[in-house]
Structure 1
Amino acid sequence: MQLVLLRDKRHPARQVDACEAAARAVVFLLDDPRTQPGGPWHDAVRQWSDKRIRKIVRRASGKRWDDVQALEGVTVSQDPPADGPVETSPARVRAFVPAPVRPQPKQIDKLQVAGTNLPADGVSATTNGVVTIEINPRIEMTTGKACAQCGHAAQLAYEAMSSGNDEDRHALDRWRRDEFRVHVVTPTVEHWDADVARVRVVDAGFTEFDGPTATTRARW
C-alpha cells in the first residue's frame, strides 16, 4: 500500500498529526464499501492483506499532491490543536489501493520516499479516541516510517475488532462513528515495558532498522 503525505514547506504539519492521519487513511480504505466483497477494490486489498502488509510512505507538495488525488484511494486530514501555532498546517495523507511495488503510476513513482520528516512538536490533539496507538519510546524513526508503522497498528486493530467478540465489534462500531480517530502517543519506557496492548507491530527491519524491531502497538 502506497501512502502519500502532503508536505507544506512553509507551514509544515506536525509529525503526530501525520501519524494519526496515516492511521485513519488506512482504516478508512479498509472499511470503504469499495473494499467489501463485490467492490472494485476487494480483490486487490484481499490479496495484499493475505501476504505481507507492506506500506510505503512518500511525500508530495503542490501540483504533485493534486495529481495523486486522481488515483484510487482515500485522503484524510488531521487538524492540529486549535490553540497551536497558526503556522502549523493540518496533516493530510492519501492511502491508495494496494498494488505491486512495480510498476507504479507515474504520479506516485516520481515521489520521494526516504528522509521524510516533519516537526516533532507537541502531543496529540485527539481526545476520547476509541483506539490508542503507542510508539516504542526506545527507537527513532523518520516521519515516513512512523506513519507506516502507525498505519500497521491501526490496520491490525481494525482486523482484530472485525473478527473479535461482541465487545470488540461494538468498539469497532464506535470507532467507525468516530471517523476512526486515533490517539498516537509515545509512552514512557516503564509503560511500554508493561506491555499493555491488544495488537503489536514488529517491523521486519528492511528499512531504518538492522533487524526485526517492535515499533508500535494499539489498544482499545
Structure 2
Amino acid sequence: MQLVVYRDRHLPAREVDVCEAAARAVVRVLDDPRSQPGGPWYESVKHWSDGRIRKLVRRADGKRWTDVQELDGVTVIQPGARGYGEARVRAFVPGPVRPLVKALDKLQVSGTHFPPEGLSLATTALAVVEVTPHEDMTSGKLAAQCGHAAQGLYELADAAQRASWRADDFRVEVRHPGAGQWDRSSRQVSIVDAGFTELDGPAETTRASWRASLR
C-alpha cells in the first residue's frame, strides 16, 4: 500500500497529526464499500491483506499532490495544532511495487520528516496507538508503523467495534509512552517491523488498543 503525505514547506503539519491521518487513511481504505466483496477494490485489498503487508510512505506538494488525487484511494485531512498546518494523507489501493504508476513512482520515499512537536489533539478517540520509545524513526517510517497498528486493530474488531469506530470517523490518538510504561505494558495489537528499512533487525514499533481497554 502506497501512502502519500502532503508537505507544506511554509506551514508543515506536526508529526503526530501526520501519523494519525495516515492511520485513519489506511483503515478507511479497508472499510470502504469498494473494498468489500463485490467491490472494485476487493481483490486487490484481499490479495494484499492475505500476503505480506507493506506500506510505503511518500511525500508530495503542489501539482504532484493534486495529481495523485486521481488515483484510487482515500484522502484524510486532519486539523493541526495552532501554528502548524493540517495533516493530509492519501492511502491508495494496494498494488505491486513494480511497475508503479508514474505519479507515485517519482515521489520521494526516504528522509520524510515533520516537526515532532506537542501531543495529540485526539484525546477522545476510540483507538489509541502507542509508539516505542526504544527506536528512532523518520516521520514517514513512523506513519507507516501507525498505519500497521491501526490496521491490526481494525482486523481484530468485531462488527460493533467497527461500527463505533466508523461513527468516530476512525480517529486515532498517537501516544509516546516512556520506557518504563512501554516495558511494563502490553496491548491487543503489537507491530514488529522486520528491519528491512531504517531499523536494525526486527523491532516492536507500535501497539494499538481501544481506549476503554486502557482503563
Under a length normalisation based on structure 1, what TM-score does the superposition of the two structures give?
Answer: 0.94
Q: Which residue of 1 aligns with 2:79?
A: 79
Q: CA deviation at 1:206?
A: 0.3
2-side partners of 1:47 and 1:170: how far apart? Answer: 25
What secondary structure does 1:208 align onto? coil
Q: CA deviation at 1:139?
A: 1.0
1:174 to 164, 179, 199: 164
2-side partners of 1:50 and 1:147: how far apart? Answer: 22
| CA deviation string 1:180-202 (max 9, x = no partner) | 00000101111111223100000
1:197 to 175, 181, 187: 187
1-side partners of 2:78 and 2:181: how far apart? Answer: 26
1-side partners of 2:68 and 2:52: how far apart? Answer: 24
What secondary structure does 1:29 align onto? helix
Q: Which residue of 1 aligns with 2:202?
A: 212
- Report % sequence identity: 58
Contact 1:24 1:180 in 2 (8 A): yes
Within the alignment, does 1:137 sit opposite 2:133 as a pair? Answer: yes
Under a length normalisation based on structure 2, what TM-score does the superposition of the two structures give?
Answer: 0.96
2-side partners of 1:90 and 1:194: how far apart? Answer: 34
- 1:39-188 residue pairs with structure 2 within 5 A? 39-81=39-81, 84-85=82-83, 88-162=84-158, 169-188=159-178
Q: CA deviation at 1:210?
A: 1.3
2-side partners of 1:80 and 1:6: how far apart? Answer: 13
| CA deviation string 1:85-116 (max 9, x = no partner) | 2xx11000000000000011100000000000
Report the residue type matching 1:104 in the other structure: L
Within the alignment, does 1:16 sit opposite 2:16 as a pair? Answer: yes
Contact 1:130 1:171 in 2 (8 A): no
| CA deviation string 1:138-178 (max 9, x = no partner) | 1110000000000000000000004xxxxxx3222211100
Q: CA deviation at 1:218?
A: 0.1
What secondary structure does 2:39 align onto? coil
Structure 2 gap ranges (5+)? 211-215
| CA deviation string 1:70-99 (max 9, x = no partner) | 000000011113xx22xx110000000000
Q: Which residue of 1 aligns with 2:213?
A: none
What secondary structure does 1:124 align onto? coil
Count of aligned pairs between the two proteins: 210
2-side partners of 1:107 and 1:186: how far apart? Answer: 34
